[in-house]
Amino acid sequence: MSTETGDKAVVKAMMASGKTMLAEAAGEEEQLELLAPLTADDIDEARAALGPGAGKVAVLREARKRKGRPKGSTNRRTEDFKRYLLRFGQHPAITLMQLQATPPEELVAQSELLDPGKRRMSLHDAQSLRIRCAEALLPYLESKQPVAVDATIRGVIVVEEIGTGHAGPGVIIDGEPLGTMALGDDA
């Protein structure tokens, strides 16, 4: 058995890792360009877009707005990362849907086959797992309905006046003040 093949594999992996790091550094360098100071050409283009009557601040804002990713466009780094993750397996929504669609009895049976010596999943645990999967998927399949709000006011309003020297209306029920009794009166 030769160690040459093992060494070659290690070197190949290191080269691939280095290439990946170099590609990531190039992407970061592109992002750092967004932080670069404005050039005279950027300012001239913004002035031409706004017209001759535009003030200095408006021209600078327009020049800054023109740099970077346009509004509404997707972030390339996020899309690249999503594609990278999906190379390792199926989309998580598919996994959730498969779990949710599996009958709870089958989930219990599968949990027993995985490790017979350990505690197996109960029927309640299986059903709870299916419900959690359905709840996680629901926002992607159905939009949330508006919540109805009941704005009627019911109840008792108590108005207390402190330091006025006279007894106020006291307790109000259905818009009618109730009489109050001063402290110290024995009735």
Could you report the per-residue pLDDT of 92-148, keeping only the tens digit for each?
889 999 999 999 999 988 888 887 777 788 899 999 999 998 999 888 888 777 788
Report CA-CA distances (Å) from 106 to 100, 109, 123, 127, 152.
12, 5, 10, 11, 49
| pLDDT at residue 1 in the model | 43
| pLDDT at residue 32 in the model | 52
Q: How far apart are CA 90 and CA 84, in angstroms?
A: 12
| pLDDT at residue 2 in the model | 45
| pLDDT at residue 49 in the model | 86
Q: Note the pLDDT tens digit of each residue in 45-75.
A: 888 888 888 888 888 888 877 666 666 777 7
Query: For the whole prediction, is pTM greater than 0.85?
Result: no
How much is the average pLDDT of 150-177?
65
Host H or E run for residue 173: strand 171-173
The pairing of strands 171-173 and 157-158 is antiparallel
pLDDT higher than threshold 80 for residue 88: yes
| pLDDT at residue 102 in the model | 93
Q: How far apart are CA 147 and CA 6, in angstroms?
A: 63
Count each helix (H run) and each strand (E run) in the chain, helices first: 7, 3
Q: Note the pLDDT tens digit of each residue in 2-35.
A: 455 677 777 788 888 878 877 776 665 555 555 6
